Structure 1
Amino acid sequence: MLEAKLAETGMLKKLLDSIKELVTDANFECNEEGINLQAMDNSHVALVAVHLQAAGFKRFRCDRPMPLGVNLGSLTKVLKCAKDDDECTLKAADEADVLNLVYEAKNSDRIAEYDMKLMDIDSDTLGIPDTEYEAEVSMPSAEFARIVRDLSALGESVRIEVSKEGVRFASEGESANGSILLKKDGEVGRVKTAKEKKAEKARANGEEPEEDDEEEEEENEDGEKPKKVKKEKVKKEKGDEDVEMEDEEKDEEAFKANSDDEDEKSEPSDDEESGKKRKKKTNGSSKPAKKAKTTKSKGKGKKDDEEKTVFDFSMNSHVSLTFSLKYLVNFAKSTSMTNKVELRLSNDVPLLVDYDFGQGYVRYYLAPKIGDE
């Protein structure tokens, strides 16, 4: 049995509006982790991957994995019967042929209930490989939507080029050509590895110690070389030496906070006889609390920076690819989901357009044009 309750129906409306023109019929794969959708357009040029995590629902229950074959156009019509701030509950019994939707108004006693017929859709879930991209671009989603909309008036294709100069979007049409260059202030960084990205997310969520333990276990399983790197890092932090890498600075601060705690605990054990030194012990015990507050404030600052959504990009090598503007304009409809979009590119690899919002993500994969096509 499936029972998933959303705090607001508006989120589901925006999600379907952004993908319904690319995909007509699709299976919502439901399991204990959440609800997933993966489908390709009719021309098999673009792929859409949607994930709604279980934690993003007000209430979520899925006893066993089950597919819900849905016509997205019909589901959109049913969702239009609800207000954006209505609570929406999706219900489906095991092997059911009907999806039940219940809308509960927050400011009144109104409860609306609808049943929508499900479909049997034969679709294979594609295994999307973890790709190490050569270039990554982070920008405001509204800016991306404006660029592709403006260039679509000139031509059918856009060339996206990432170099040290910046990120260039260029289109050539029969009557006019257009080019938009986005520059970055400061040096261009490199694309981070998957492990580094996981560590960054852990620090942003304030879960650094747990993630560090996991990283140590993963590194120990990989081989001896990562062990040496980890040991050298700890030695530098114990000696209070300067660390040049930006990603290691936060690890050093966390380690120093822990080492201060140990020093303060060891001091009272040697000086328990004198009353003055006992006062130092009480003063020392208050210091870690202050440091904990400062680390929390740093975490809030990071979230505020993410909400501002400033243009940024990193690259390992020069990338230049051509894509169909018709599809990019469709992808840009997900702008209503979040104010940030990430583009990931590698030569001869499909473009990844990633919209990551609070309750999950919408990811689009688009194959590049080859030659004069």
Structure 2
Amino acid sequence: SISMISFFMPTNAFSKYDVDKNVSLGLNIDNLSKIMSRARDGESLIMKEHDNKLTLEFSGQSKRRFRTQLIDVRKSVDKEPSVQFDADVEINGETLKELVKDATIVSEYISLKATKDQFTIDCRGDSGELNEEHLSDGNSIKKIKTEKNAEATFNLQFLENMVKSCPAGNYISIGLKSNEPLKLTYKVGEAQITYYLAPYMES
């Protein structure tokens, strides 16, 4: 697969969490996204599973209940990639968002490179080139830890979609290994989102 997402929310992020046993629920992400987009300010959400359906109840000035069919994903869910990354970078989320926006002006792909001293991006396209460097002791970089230099190229559209939900003020952790999948992690409240993105390889 080109990309993967792993979402973790601890039990203390819920006002009430009542689960008797471990259970896996398969959901169509497009259907779930459409339902969640209808949430209103000030509403609480109750989720219940029954008869192979998931009920999502929004409670505020009124109560609204959506029910969506569960799907069998036991055979189709891939495991998270097992990669020993050569470089780990923690960069300010807003900095990375702006960096990605800069890159979309000149190319559809972005090359990320990490050394012990700096984090660098390179883009080349028909309209021009972009090079941007962030030193390890700069304001945007919280940490760079490298076993050895790492560099890989990725699809910009996927990367842009991955970083856009990072809240202002948060840092994004990047795991990088030359020509291997990228690991990108950040917090949203109590939850943690992890993305994996396969590198772009010229055919």
Using the size of structure 1 for normalisation, the TM-score is 0.50
Structure 1 residue 104, shift from structure 2 partner: 2.0
Measured against aligned partners, the alpha-carbon deviations of 1:291-325 in whole angstroms (never above 9, x if no partner) come to xxxxxxxxxxxxxxxxx975432212111211111
Structure 2 match to 1:127: 79
Is 1:337–1:357's contact at 8 Å kept on the other side of the alignment? no
Query: How far did residue 328 of structure 1 move?
Result: 0.7
Q: 1:368 is aligned with what amino acid?
A: P
Letter in 2 for 1:103: F
2:120 is aligned, of 148, 165, 168, to 168
Partner of 1:322: 153
Taking a change above 3 Å as real, the CA distance of residues 102 and 126 of structure 1, as seen in their structure-2 partners, is same
Work out which of the residue numbers 35, 39, 51 in structure 2 matches 1:78: 35
Secondary structure in 1 matching 2:72: coil
Amino acid at match of 2:71: M
Structure-to-structure mapping, 1:1-373, within 5 angstroms: 44-93=1-50, 96-105=51-60, 108=61, 110-121=62-73, 123-128=75-80, 131-185=83-137, 311-336=142-167, 339-370=170-201, 372-373=202-203
> Aligned partners of 1:113 and 1:325: how far apart in 2?
37
How big is each residue's C-alpha offset from its partner over 1:247-271, in whole Å with a ceiling of 9 and x where there is no partner? xxxxxxxxxxxxxxxxxxxxxxxxx
Q: Determine the C-alpha separation between the residues in 2 that align with 1:337 and 1:60.
A: 28
SS across alignment from 1:327: helix
Structure 2 CA distance, aligned partners of 1:62 and 1:337? 33
The alpha carbon displacement at 1:97 in A equals 2.4
Q: 2: CA distance between counterparts of 1:129 and 1:118?
A: 25
> What's the C-alpha RMSD, in Å, of the aligned pairs?
2.5
1:53–1:359 CA contact under 8 A, matched in 2: yes
Q: Percent identity?
A: 21
**Partner AA of 2:24 in structure 1:** P
- Give the Cα–Cα distance (whole angstroms) in 1 for the partners of residues 39 and 151 of structure 2: 44
1:337 and 1:355 in contact (8 A); partners too = no
Return 5+ residue gaps in structure 2 as ranges: none
In the TM superposition, what whole-angstrom CA distance separates every residue of 1:185-241 from its partner, at most 9, and x where no partner exists?
28xxxxxxxxxxxxxxxxxxxxxxxxxxxxxxxxxxxxxxxxxxxxxxxxxxxxxxx
Contact kept, 8 Å, 1:338 with 1:356, in 2: the verdict is: no
Letter in 2 for 1:51: F
Is contact 1:184-1:312 (8 Å) kept?
A: yes
Give the aligned length. Answer: 203
- Rounded to whole Å, the distance in 1 between the matches of 2:153 and 2:167 is 25
What's the CA shift for 1:174? 0.8
Distance 1:144 1:125, change over 3 A: same
Structure with larger Rg: 1
Counterpart residue identity of residue 98, structure 1: K
Whose strand fraction is larger, Structure 1's or Structure 2's?
2
Query: Where do 5+ consecutive residues of structure 1 fail to align?
Result: 1-43, 187-307
Matching residue's letter, 1:113: R
Partner of 1:302: none
Aligned-partner Cα distance in 1 for 2:46–2:169: 23
Amino acid at match of 2:157: K
In the alignment, is the contact (CA less than 8 A) between 1:343 and 1:354 conserved in 2? yes
Cα deviation for residue 154 of structure 1 reads 0.7
* Distance of 1:61 and 1:97 partners within structure 2: 18
